[in-house]
Amino acid sequence: MNLTKSSTGDEITPLALAIHELVNRLPITMRTKNTRGVRIEEGKVIDNDYSGPILEKVLENGKISSETPNHGPYKGVPVLVVPLLENDEVIASIGVVDTTKGIYSDIMQITKRPEQFDKDNSRGEFY
C-alpha cells in the first residue's frame, strides 16, 4: 500500500478496515491531508468521501486528540484521533469512535502496565 497525503477514500479503505477489526469493530474514520476519506461501521464503508471536525483538527495541528465532537455524525460520542506522519509531515489522521460510552478508554487505562502508573502511587492501586 502506498499511502500519500492525497490518497483517496477508496485507496485508504483497506488500512481503515484493518484498524476497524483490530479495535473490535468500533467505528473508524480516516482521511488524508488533501483528500476526504472513509467512515467505517460494522465492517462496512458507510461513506468514502468523509471528513470530521476532529480529523481535520489533527491534520492541522499534528497532535493526538481525545475529545467529543459537538457536530457531525458522532456528535456527543468520544473519539480518539491520531496523526499519521511521514518525514515529520502529517499525511493523514485516523480516528476511533468510542461507542462503548467510555468503556474502551477505561479498559485502555486499566490494562496499562504497572510501571506506567504514577510513581507516587506507592501501593500500586488503580485510580
Name the grid cell of 120.
507516587
pLDDT in tens, 43-99: 999 999 999 999 999 999 999 999 999 988 999 999 999 999 999 999 999 999 988
Domains of the chain: 9-101 (3.30.450.20)
pLDDT the model gives residue 13: 97
Please answer whether residues 44 and 19 qualify as being in contact, where contact means their C-beta atoms are separated by less than 8 angstroms: no
pLDDT the model gives residue 117: 53
pLDDT the model gives residue 127: 43
| Cα–Cα distance measured from residue 95 to residue 31, given in angstroms and rounded to the nearest whole number | 9
Distant-in-sequence, close-in-space partners of 102: CB < 8 Å, separation ≥ 6: 78
